[in-house]
Structure 1
Amino acid sequence: MDDGEIFTRLQAASVRVARERSVESVREVRKELEKVTGCLTHYKDYLLFPHIIILKTTHKCSWELQEEIVGVIHEVLYRSTIEDLIFFQEIFTQLFFILTDKTDPQKVGNISEDCKKTALASVSLLVQNSSDSVREEVYADAFRPQLGHAIYITLKLIQEEKNRSLKLQAIETLLSLGQKKSFESLPKQQQDVLSTTYANFLPGILMALTRVATADEKQGHKVTALALDAWSYFVMLVMRDNFLSKHVTALGEGATVARLHKQLFGEKDQDSNKKTQLPSKDNKFMLLQPQENLSSKTINIEITSEWVDKTAERVSLLVQSLAKLVTYSHWRVRLSLVHWAQQLICNCCRSLSGGVILAVEVIVGLRSDDIVDVGTAAQDALLAVTEALEVRSQHTHSQQGLLELLEERVYALSTQLPTICRQQDGAKTLTCVRQLLGCLEVLGERLTQVLSGPSHSHRLLHALSFALTLDTTDSDLLLERTDAQDPFELLSIKPSLGKCFKHFQDVRISEALGTTCHLIGYHSNLTLVVDLCLDCLQQSTYHQKESLLMLT
């Protein structure tokens, strides 16, 4: 179908919309648009002009009419390329005007869920189908207030809406506003501009996404997994090492070294005087251009070492909350968590050094996941993480690589395991034991060095013996007896008798603890381990059975 045919078919329907302003006339345009297979870039102004006029001039637009108009906007944007900032600004403003409450701009409008979903999808199309020149203006200072309001309303929808598909669409729209799909293909300069812009919105975005990701599992695994992906993307966007190193010298060296460097050499000058070029007024909408003085009123966050340290501290607290998702029931969330941890370490290991150890712990713990895909992804992530930590040690002149971090985690987990066992939470106990097992597996022959210190070795073996505490209240074994009529009949004892543990019932925990003991005996000095177990046997009568169980 050529351009002439397209225009002929849509002209009559568009004229009817301008004349009648009814739901039926708008629906007719929408049906005609769905039949079009060609590009509508040259006709987008003509087609959308009467619909925008209805939204602007009608005092009270019904839900049904709004929904049909948003549907028309979606169909036109799907078949168009946006090369004009004024057009972008008009459609962008109208879509979020529909989504926002008319009396309170800080609340979401009272409209149908279908209308919200279509409006959000239209925003995604608007950003994705815009040219590079338009996108540059969108992320400039002059457009910052509108972009900030759009992000705010989108985050409100993500947090407050109950409809699952609407939540997913809102997160997708947030990612579209952040240029996730095209970020890797952008030039370095545009990537840095995008990162500088989103540094102003990072705290609010991360807090909202953390609330969604750690919410009740009833919301569905897709919402949780997508929230995790969005969280890791925006952290990478703003806190990635190769971006922050352009603003902060001695990134990852610590506050003392950074302060000393600032006193000696001073801070880098920030280029904050870039002029924004706006398109001409030759446009069918005849809108006013953004005012030049907006850029001077817009507050920009200055990326300094102090800002990086404070932001990293807050992000590390959120990392602690998200790391608890290792116990999530659905495997796709655990798979997303592996990618989350990998991206955190590979891109931000210098800027977010406080969260690195938790991310490593997530990857190591999920290597032994019941789902093969999760375990394989964690194993691949571990290889990438090892390389990233080696690069970090070269930049920060630190000798703390992956193995040193894992040694620290072995000591920490040995301390935490008895406390977690007392809580009798099977999921937490299994996670802790798997993380300990994963650390020991990666350490391998270095276990001899880990167990060389008396305090650390006693702590580890004491934690294992406490976890293996047997339940001696089980009297079923004593109640078993042979048939009196046949004294030579062999007694058939259930395999579980005599192996009931006090703090857990999950067989996976006992298997993981058994594998842990086997690893310690295989990779470390066996004579030393036997001596330590015999010491435990002599020192405490309470854990004698458990010490013998560890030895076997």
Structure 2
Amino acid sequence: MDKLTGTMFEKAHFQKAFGTLKPACDAFITEPNDVNSKLLKNAMAMVPEYALTQLQPYVLIPLEIHLKTNKLNCTVNVLDVLTTLLKKTSISLWPTFMRIYKMLVEKLTHEKNPDIAVNLSEDIKLSIIIALNLLIEKADIVVLNEMYNEVDCKHVGYLIYICTIIIKKEKMNILRVEALKCISMLSSNWNKNIESNIRLKIIQRLIKFVPGVLSVCSIIVNATDIQHHSITVAAINLWSTITSLIICDEYVIEDCNPYLEKSICNDNENDDKQKLNDWIQENHTNFNLVATHMNKTREHQHWRVRLQLVSSCDVLLSKCTSSMKSSVTSLIETLIVLSDDEQPEVEKLANESVDKLHKIFDGQNKKSLLELLEESFYILLSRIPRFIRTSNYIEQKTELSLLSGYIKLFGKAHLSQVLNSYAHLDRLITALIQILELEYKTITLLEESSIRDLNSIQTFTADVSKNVPWKQLIHFNDTSALHKIECICKLIGLYGDSNFIGRYLMDLFESRAMYRREITLLINMVLSENIGEYHYNLVRDVIDLYLESDIWYLPTSIENNSTTNIADAQKNVIQICLMTEGLSKLVSSLPVTQQNLCLIHCLYPILERVGSEHGPISLAGQSAITLLAHSGGYRDPIDLVIKNSDYLSHHFTNKLWSISKHPEVLNALKVVMNLNSGDDLLQSFHTMVTEVLVQSCDVHRTENMHSFMKVFHIFIMCVRKREQKCSPVSDHTEKSKSSSNCVIENILQYHKMKTIDLENDFEDECWENKFSYTPCENNENVTEDDEDDEDNKKPLPPYIEMVLSIMKRVLHYLPSKHNSLPLQILNEGLNVISSYEDQLLPMVHKIWSPLCTKFNSNTDDIVFREAFNVLTTMASTAKDFIRSRSLKQVLPTITERLASSAKQSKKVAKGSVYFTSHKYKMQYTILSGLADFVLNLNFFEKDMHDVSNSVAYYLDKDQPIELQNKSKEFYKKLYEKHSDFVWIYLQSLYVDEYEYKSDNERLPTIKVYSSSLFNKCNISKNVSELLEPLKI
């Protein structure tokens, strides 16, 4: 009863489905237009799949009728309906399959010449190929067996041929992809068979098509990147599909498969399998060649191509290691390279495949595979230096990724075993040395005199630390390569025997001096991250190696009697920077407790580097001390120095005592003295400088006097900087307003005073008395205050007393003709004691006499410039105390020197070496400071006239533009206080003779006479620029 009910139910559904499909089929068979096509597709969508399968022959009737015709306007609709039908049903009858198959294939070929694809539109061809793909996919295994059992698989072969023509000639991307998919299905759908004998017979019929198919795949992957990536993906997929099914290990006859856990024995093999095995062995060279083409796509720009390549390599390594034995290494290398891919999806899948290879190591056949990879690793190390030198960046990156991947693949368990071989270790280190060849020609040897300040040290990020001048690689244009190599070296240190490798590198450091820079960089990178039991001892030994005197103190300057040339000096700078960086990296790799033990040896040498006058060396020192402070848990580098000041003082004391042997101590001293530190650290500096001061009094140590004075200079500069930060800056410049309300009144006053001067022939003292000036120097022997005031005076700070002691000591060396350093020390000292008047004026009085000896025609330009700096500092601090003596003893020499040197700077070509000379610097300094000097000493007009004449030589258009600008600045500054004088003086330079008359008869007439000292044509431009804003 139930069975009868079920049958009736099915019959009712069948009738309902037939009723739904019949009107649509009738309409479509009559007119296969768009409307009827849509109606039939909707009807099929409403019918259940089991009913539609039963009614499949009925639905195929109108489709076959219209497929037999050649009307292109209805072909698209017929193919669209056929595609919809095949998606919902399968083909289980061989005659039905062949009818549809033949009709679809015939649409793609000419009737008269079936070897040529018909000239249809790309859209119709696409619809036909899609329909064929569905037809093959939905065909039952029985139908497929019939197709593959035909003589020579003629229908399969013919469709493969048509698809290859479409792939080669068509331009439509999706059409070519579907054609590749069609070949893939024709080559693999037979795999549904579970009987090995049937599979083997089908393969024997298909192998004749394999060379052509693989040839097409090779053509596609060798195309340019203009080709759409989906075509390349489909070609790689087709290659791995056909190779893994037809050329797999299952059909290779050998004693055992050394790369898989399973082994295939050759007992009871039939003749068919032997023939297939022979065919595989005969063509293995061609298979390897195709695999080489495929592996090149690991550098493809699109990540989906690389992802498909990973999948394909994984499949082949699991199924074809015997049949493609020669390609196993290249397939593994492809996975290794892509395991470091920048695309996360590719990297993840490749790493999963590499993990499978790790399991092979642990299997029973690990020895054979390990030996194979060791050999491949050695080949890679042999070729990589040449490859790096001759390849582009993408290929370089691939080789580095391959090297990194091999090390990861060996892992901690096997890398030590590999590198225990001297051949492998030596080849690895040699390859890395050649890859890491450093550029030295861009290193500057210019020295900077500025004091390095730890208070404003720059922040060193990862990008900054890789873009430093001492780590520029010759063979790479991108800093990411250095990062990659650094990661490789860290892996070597982590996975290998770091103690053995480190000792080997230390031996090379001493034996291969030519490659010492690259070896140093290798040591720094290999040992920078390690926690082995021997790591501390190894680090200590490397530190001792770096700090050996003849290695740490390399010559970086070129002197007359030196054998060091420019290239050697540049290489030495790089070596010093690398060792400095290495100290910090090695120490920071230790636990904090062990770091403290190493700091005793490392901190002082690094401070020497921080204070170096060479920019790259100082930068390396700053980077190193920043890293030490961070890794040691200190707040900043200043905190690091202060908390380790005890043993630093010991270093300083010992090296200052023999300063001639340790001149670098001055570099470290500059850095430490410049800290914003407390009184405790300042007191330790005070003690050190006191010892130096005592040594400077020793008549047997005069050869060290220049070094002693450098220490004094450093100390005074740092004290001055501390004073500036601790107390507000006071402005000594007094701005006075003109007593006149207008320019006319100033002119009248000038005329009146000039008349008095001509009538009475007053001397300089009359000018002074006229304006009620009482110079302080008339009372140089100043009486002391009463005893009560003396008792109330605060004692001087110790560092000020030290500055005074230094200045008194330096006065003994002021008469030296060629040494400007004592003048620089006195200049800084005067600025320091400027707020202590009781000490300032006596000190100025002591300095004056030896200073005056510097203002003569025979004095060197550099000494004359520094003497002028001291003079301007005296003027700004002591003011009228030195006014009269300055006018009488030094001003004539200054104006004469300025005027005479103007002849030498005239018509100097732009870019001339003159601009680097001391004479030019002297001119620039005097012109820059002369206005302030005049204003601070309140010069009268007669004295200002002499000074203005000496400056006017630099208004000449033939003078260097920088000196012209400084001369104009002189008059502008002077105009702020002496506007009347400057205006009259500039007029005398500009006009020949001019008479200024007033309409008021009581006002006198003023005549301006021309100056005959200057060529008006040459100075008119600058004078007019000065007068332009002064016009009334």
Same fold (TM over 0.5): yes
1:87 Cα deviation from its structure 2 partner? 0.8
**Match status 1:38 vs 2:83:** no
Corresponding residue for 1:311? 283
**Match status 1:162 vs 2:171:** yes
**Match status 1:517 vs 2:485:** no
Where 1:217 maps in the other structure, the secondary structure is coil
Matches within 5 A, 1:190-205: 190-205=198-213
Corresponding residue for 2:161? 152
Change (3 A) 1:131 1:551: same
Corresponding residue for 1:77? 86
**Match status 1:269 vs 2:240:** no
* Partner Cα distance (1:356, 1:488) in 2: 59
Where 2:271 maps in the other structure, the secondary structure is coil
Corresponding residue for 2:929? none
Change (3 A) 1:36 1:213: farther
**Match status 1:422 vs 2:396:** no
Change (3 A) 1:184 1:380: farther
Change (3 A) 1:333 1:17: closer
Corresponding residue for 2:292? 320
Corresponding residue for 1:292? none
Corresponding residue for 2:59? 47
Where 1:337 maps in the other structure, the secondary structure is helix
* Partner Cα distance (1:379, 1:121) in 2: 35
Matches within 5 A, 1:519-538: 519-526=491-498, 528-530=500-502, 532-534=504-506, 536-537=508-509
1:96-153 superposed Cα distances (whole Å, 9 cap, x missing partner): 1112344543333222222222222211221222222212212213471011111222
**Match status 1:220 vs 2:231:** no
* Partner Cα distance (2:371, 2:42) in 1: 65
1:385 Cα deviation from its structure 2 partner? 3.3
Change (3 A) 1:424 1:339: same
What is the RMSD computed on CA atoms of the aligned residues? 3.4
Change (3 A) 1:354 1:2: same
Corresponding residue for 2:304? 332
Contact 2:53/2:89 (<8 A) preserved? yes
* Partner Cα distance (1:388, 1:313) in 2: 26
Contact 2:83/2:131 (<8 A) preserved? yes
From 201, 226, 234, the equivalent of 2:242 is 234
Change (3 A) 1:184 1:142: closer
* Higher mean C-alpha deviation, range 310-319 or range 71-80: 71-80
From 59, 81, 96, the equivalent of 2:105 is 96
Corresponding residue for 2:404? 437
Change (3 A) 1:37 1:224: farther
* Partner Cα distance (2:356, 2:421) in 1: 30
From 478, 497, 503, the equivalent of 2:468 is 497
Where 1:49 maps in the other structure, the secondary structure is helix
From 59, 74, 98, the equivalent of 1:65 is 74
From 6, 9, 13, the equivalent of 1:2 is 13
1:198 Cα deviation from its structure 2 partner? 2.9
1:186 Cα deviation from its structure 2 partner? 4.4
1:278-324 superposed Cα distances (whole Å, 9 cap, x missing partner): xxxxxxxxxxxxxxxxxxxxxxxx83443111222211111111112
Contact 1:221/1:332 (<8 A) preserved? yes
Contact 1:30/1:71 (<8 A) preserved? no
* Partner Cα distance (1:26, 1:480) in 2: 90
* Partner Cα distance (2:206, 2:389) in 1: 44
Contact 2:66/2:75 (<8 A) preserved? no
1:404 Cα deviation from its structure 2 partner? 1.9
* Higher mean C-alpha deviation, range 325-334 or range 486-495: 486-495
1:359 Cα deviation from its structure 2 partner? 1.1
Which structure has more relative contact order (CA 8 Å, sep 6+)? It is 1
Change (3 A) 1:406 1:176: same
Letter in 2 for 1:217: D
Change (3 A) 1:320 1:542: farther
Contact 1:13/1:25 (<8 A) preserved? no
Corresponding residue for 2:806? none
Letter in 2 for 1:52: E
Corresponding residue for 2:336? 364
Letter in 1 for 2:163: T
* Partner Cα distance (2:488, 2:238) in 1: 35
Change (3 A) 1:16 1:268: same
From 459, 466, 487, the equivalent of 2:434 is 466
From 304, 322, 325, the equivalent of 1:353 is 325
* Partner Cα distance (2:516, 2:112) in 1: 72
**Match status 1:172 vs 2:181:** yes
Contact 2:374/2:418 (<8 A) preserved? yes
* Partner Cα distance (1:216, 1:33) in 2: 46
Contact 1:30/1:68 (<8 A) preserved? no
* Partner Cα distance (2:310, 2:387) in 1: 23
Contact 2:147/2:153 (<8 A) preserved? yes
1:478 Cα deviation from its structure 2 partner? 5.4
* Partner Cα distance (2:40, 2:152) in 1: 30
Q: Any stretches of 5+ residues in structure 2 without a counterpart? A: 1-11, 259-264, 525-1032
1:86 Cα deviation from its structure 2 partner? 0.8
1:530 Cα deviation from its structure 2 partner? 4.1
Contact 2:130/2:178 (<8 A) preserved? yes
Letter in 2 for 1:72: V
1:541 Cα deviation from its structure 2 partner? 5.4
Corresponding residue for 2:373? 406
Determine which structure has more spread, i.e. the larger CA radius of gyration. Answer: 2
Where 2:475 maps in the other structure, the secondary structure is coil
Where 2:368 maps in the other structure, the secondary structure is coil
* Partner Cα distance (2:301, 2:507) in 1: 40
* Partner Cα distance (1:116, 1:470) in 2: 59
Where 1:126 maps in the other structure, the secondary structure is helix
* Partner Cα distance (2:133, 2:416) in 1: 55
1:163 Cα deviation from its structure 2 partner? 2.2
Letter in 1 for 2:407: L
Where 2:270 maps in the other structure, the secondary structure is coil
Corresponding residue for 1:122? 131
Percent identity for Structure 1 against Structure 2: 23
* Partner Cα distance (1:160, 1:389) in 2: 46
Corresponding residue for 1:286? none
Letter in 2 for 1:7: F
Change (3 A) 1:387 1:442: closer
Letter in 2 for 1:371: Q
Contact 1:458/1:532 (<8 A) preserved? no
1:400 Cα deviation from its structure 2 partner? 1.1
Corresponding residue for 2:876? none
**Match status 1:456 vs 2:452:** no
Corresponding residue for 1:258? none
1:358 Cα deviation from its structure 2 partner? 0.8
Change (3 A) 1:267 1:128: closer
Change (3 A) 1:497 1:185: same
For normalisation by structure 1, the TM-score amounts to 0.79
Aligned length in residues: 497
Corresponding residue for 1:27? 37
1:381 Cα deviation from its structure 2 partner? 1.3
Change (3 A) 1:186 1:349: same
1:412-451 superposed Cα distances (whole Å, 9 cap, x missing partner): 1111211221124111111111111111222234334433
